[in-house]
């Protein structure tokens, strides 16, 4: 009933024209790809980051924007429900949509396309990010190549400098004629030629490579006019000079003007780029370097969160993450928090606490083991690796107590003990997996964890097909299900008595552990359905504990986190 009401709500906010366009994307073929519907074309993976890929992403983005779906009222719907509908939309094929009732078809398509619009916006800027990194990388490599090509000549100049320097030192010490001593080392004409050649070989004093980027400006121009035309940038600061510069370049692109206005903002540009910003007259702005500097600064400001992108999920305005003022005023009295909601109270308490800790540190700085405070600089002594021999022997004895078990059997045992597999509900109907589907899910998890994919996993597990593994990967192993399954494992581990010896679980560690094993090829693991003889390599980020023997012997099972 609730689902039907949701579908009706979304569908009723669509115009007839929007509904016709939604019908078109699942029935009509794309103009340039006759074997694909428009929906299939919209779903295509972007491909390798390049100017051409950027333009293809923007083409799809503009198609979705042309449907004007942002007018659909879905803001009052729960975010998780919208994510679920979007996930369904990404999995259904056009023929499946055509079998649905209109309200369901339009609702799922609308929510999916709105989310796809955000994904494409993020992807477009990600490609720009990669292109700027590529630009700088190519400049650095070009400088390295120049140094390699000129290595012999540079060595000659170093030798000349050494000989000339020694001659000048001798002339001063022995009060000899400088020019006579110099010409005894190198002829004057050769000296002049050597200096001129050294000037040509010399790189900037700061050994930067930005002077080599001017020729690469045109590779950026393949897509940057489209970038500035389609993506809309906002700043947290009023009258942001960077965004003023973006508008100037956008206007120049539209009008066809080539000269950058003399009053264009430049204060936001780093000193590194400013060295190349002006022509030889010192007043005319070099458009190539101005535009490259603006695009580079834009990348940095977006990544830092100072500039947001309209329609983006990853780079949206910070305010969009927060409650609206109206919603906050309605809910703040019922937060049930045990602390004051006043910022003044919070910052006063935190400042007082910080000052107390600093005073204690000042009074006890000479008593702290491995810590020194000298001239305002805090230094921590390196912790030396110190594992007692007794600990090593005890660890080895514990490992000998663990029964030998196949990874697949262990995985199934953990599934039935913890029930984490029940979180892999079907994306369309929320149905839990049965016994047969659980086996397929475990196989798919192993394929993901060993990074061999479902295709090779199907080859390594007789009795399971690629179609079965691909089906559970698509419909059951979505991000939300993965997170819930991981939560079940973490909670099970946290409730065990032994886990308390590692702490109360309120802090985390990023330490990793590399597991040694002897499997070199996935076919070496083939014996029976999911009977893999060796444990795959992994970073141990989660330790799962279980009681398996008749004496309820505690077994530490490692290597599960990599699958999630």
Tens digits of residue pLDDT in 343-366? 899 999 999 999 999 899 888 878
Mean pLDDT of 90-109: 90
Same domain, 40 and 96: yes
Same domain, 179 and 281: no
DSSP one-letter string for 8-20? HHHHHTS-HHHHH
pLDDT surpasses 90 at 32: no
Bigger pLDDT: 401 or 54?
54
Sign of the torsion angle spanned by Cα atoms 115, 118, 119, 120: positive
Confidence of residue 563 (pLDDT cuts 50, 70, 90): very low
The answer to whether the CB of 527 falls within 8 A of the CB of 506 is no
Burial of 306 (0-12, 13-18, 19+ CB in 10 A): middle
pLDDT for the residue numbered 254: 93
Same domain, 304 and 232: yes
pLDDT surpasses 60 at 558: no
Same domain, 97 and 230: no
Which of 244, 248, 301 has its CA nearest to residue 270? 301
What is the distance between the alpha carbons of residues 202 and 146, in angstroms, rounded to a whole number?
10
Per-residue pLDDT reduced to its tens digit, 177-236: 888 888 888 888 888 888 888 887 778 777 788 888 888 889 999 999 999 999 999 987
In a domain, 275, yes or no: yes
Q: What is the average pLDDT value for the chain, to the nearest integer?
A: 83
pLDDT for the residue numbered 499: 81
Per-residue pLDDT reduced to its tens digit, 106-151: 999 999 999 999 999 999 999 999 999 999 999 989 888 888 888 8
Mean pLDDT of 465-473: 89
Residue 266: Cβ within 10 Å count: 17
For residue 13, what are the domain limits?
A: 2-133
Bigger pLDDT: 507 or 325?
325
Per-residue pLDDT reduced to its tens digit, 484-535: 998 998 888 888 888 887 777 676 665 555 544 444 443 344 433 344 333 4
pLDDT for the residue numbered 552: 32
In a domain, 14, yes or no: yes
pLDDT for the residue numbered 239: 61
Confidence of residue 554 (pLDDT cuts 50, 70, 90): very low
The answer to whether the CB of 252 falls within 8 A of the CB of 258 is yes
According to DSSP, residue 278 is labeled B
In a domain, 113, yes or no: yes
Burial of 521 (0-12, 13-18, 19+ CB in 10 A): exposed
Per-residue pLDDT reduced to its tens digit, 428-452: 888 999 989 999 999 888 888 878 8
Between the CA of residue 520 and those of 523, 525, 528, 535, what are the distances in Å? 9, 9, 18, 11
Those residues with Cβ within 8 angstroms of residue 158's Cβ, 6 or more apart along the chain or in another chain: none
Same domain, 195 and 305: no
Residue 517: Cβ within 10 Å count: 13
In a domain, 391, yes or no: no
Same domain, 558 and 446: yes
In a domain, 540, yes or no: yes
Confidence of residue 70 (pLDDT cuts 50, 70, 90): confident
pLDDT for the residue numbered 495: 86
Q: How many domains does the chain have?
A: 4
pLDDT for the residue numbered 511: 54
Confidence of residue 238 (pLDDT cuts 50, 70, 90): low
With a pLDDT cut of 90, the percent of the chain lying above it is 31
- Choose one of 268, 286, 321: the last residue of a domain: 321
What is the distance between the alpha carbons of residues 484 and 422, in angstroms, rounded to a whole number?
9
Same domain, 192 and 283: no
- Choose one of 133, 161, 185: the last residue of a domain: 133
pLDDT for the residue numbered 522: 39
According to DSSP, residue 539 is labeled B
In a domain, 352, yes or no: no
Same domain, 203 and 256: no
Residue 39: Cβ within 10 Å count: 22
Which of 33, 88, 83 has its CA nearest to residue 60? 33
Residue 427: Cβ within 10 Å count: 21
Same domain, 190 and 230: no
In a domain, 378, yes or no: no
pLDDT for the residue numbered 540: 29
The residue behind tokens 């679920």 is 84
pLDDT surpasses 90 at 8: no
Lowest mean pLDDT among 34-43, 151-160, 517-526: 517-526
Residue 502: Cβ within 10 Å count: 10
Confidence of residue 311 (pLDDT cuts 50, 70, 90): very high
What is the distance between the alpha carbons of residues 468 and 460, in angstroms, rounded to a whole number?
14
What is the distance between the alpha carbons of residues 4 and 9, in angstroms, rounded to a whole number?
9
pLDDT surpasses 50 at 49: yes
Mean pLDDT of 240-262: 92
In a domain, 446, yes or no: yes
The answer to whether the CB of 36 falls within 8 A of the CB of 93 is no
Same domain, 45 and 128: yes
Here the tokens at position 19 are 């509904």
- Which secondary-structure segment (H or E) carries 448? helix 435-449
Confidence of residue 547 (pLDDT cuts 50, 70, 90): very low
pLDDT surpasses 70 at 564: no
Mean pLDDT of 392-398: 89
Bigger pLDDT: 261 or 376?
261
Here the tokens at position 350 are 């935190």
Same domain, 119 and 164: no
Here the tokens at position 426 are 């079907």
Same domain, 424 and 542: yes
DSSP one-letter string for 457-523? HHHHSTT--HHHHHHHHHHT--HHHHHHHHHHHHHHHHHSTGGGGG--SSS------BPP----SGG
């Amino acid at each position: 009933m609730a689902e039907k009401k949701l579908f009706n709500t979304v569908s009723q906010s669509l115009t007839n024209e929007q509904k016709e366009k939604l019908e078109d994307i699942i029935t009509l073929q794309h103009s340039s790809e006759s074997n694909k519907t428009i929906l299939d074309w919209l779903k295509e993976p972007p491909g390798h980051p390049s100017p051409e890929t950027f333009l293809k992403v923007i083409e799809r983005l503009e198609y979705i924007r042309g449907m004007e779906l942002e007018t659909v009222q879905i803001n009052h719907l729960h975010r998780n429900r919208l994510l679920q509908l979007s996930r369904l939309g990404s999995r259904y094929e056009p023929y499946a949509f055509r079998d649905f009732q209109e309200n369901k078809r339009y609702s799922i398509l609308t929510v999916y396309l709105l989310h796809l619009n955000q994904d494409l916006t993020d992807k477009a800027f990600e490609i720009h990010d990669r292109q700027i990194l590529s630009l700088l990388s190519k400049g650095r490599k070009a400088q390295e190549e120049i140094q390699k090509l000129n290595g012999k000549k540079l060595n000659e100049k170093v030798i000349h400098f050494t000989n000339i320097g020694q001659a000048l030192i001798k002339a001063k010490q022995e009060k000899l004629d400088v020019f006579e001593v110099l010409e005894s080392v190198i002829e004057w004409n050769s000296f002049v030629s050597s200096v001129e050649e050294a000037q040509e070989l010399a790189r900037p004093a700061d050994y930067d490579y930005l002077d080599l980027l001017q020729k690469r400006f045109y590779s950026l121009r393949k897509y940057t006019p489209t970038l500035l035309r389609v993506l809309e940038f906002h700043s947290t600061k009023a009258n942001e000079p960077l965004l003023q510069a973006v508008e100037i370049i956008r206007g120049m692109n539209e009008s066809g003007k080539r000269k950058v206005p003399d009053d264009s903002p430049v204060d936001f540009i780093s000193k590194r780029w400013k060295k190349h910003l002006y022509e030889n007259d010192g007043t005319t702005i070099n458009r190539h370097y101005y535009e490259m500097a603006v695009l580079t600064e834009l990348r940095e400001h977006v990544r830092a969160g100072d500039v947001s992108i309209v329609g983006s999920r990853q780079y949206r305005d910070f305010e969009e993450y927060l409650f609206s003022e109206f919603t906050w005023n309605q809910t703040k009295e019922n937060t049930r928090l045990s602390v004051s909601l006043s910022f003044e109270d919070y910052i006063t308490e935190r400042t007082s606490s910080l000052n107390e800790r600093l005073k204690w540190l000042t009074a006890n700085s000479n008593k702290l083991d491995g810590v020194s405070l000298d001239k305002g600089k805090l230094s921590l002594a390196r912790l030396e690796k110190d594992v007692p021999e007794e600990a090593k022997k005890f660890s080895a004895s514990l490992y000998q107590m663990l029964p030998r078990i196949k990874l697949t059997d262990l995985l199934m045992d953990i599934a039935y003990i913890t029930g984490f597999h029940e979180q892999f509900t079907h994306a369309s109907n929320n149905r839990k997996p049965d016994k047969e589907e659980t086996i397929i899910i475990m196989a798919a998890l192993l394929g993901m964890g060993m990074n061999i994919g479902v295709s090779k996993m199907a080859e390594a597990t007789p009795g399971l097909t690629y179609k079965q593994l691909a089906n559970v990967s698509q419909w059951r192993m979505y991000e939300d299900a993965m997170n819930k399954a991981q939560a079940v494992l973490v909670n099970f581990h946290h409730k065990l008595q032994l886990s308390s010896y590692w702490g109360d679980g309120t802090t985390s560690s990023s330490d990793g552990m590399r597991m040694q094993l002897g499997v070199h090829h996935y076919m070496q693991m083939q014996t029976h359905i999911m009977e893999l003889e060796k444990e795959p390599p992994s970073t141990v980020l989660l330790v799962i504990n279980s009681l398996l023997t008749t004496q309820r012997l505690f077994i530490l099972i490692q290597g599960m986190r990599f699958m999630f």
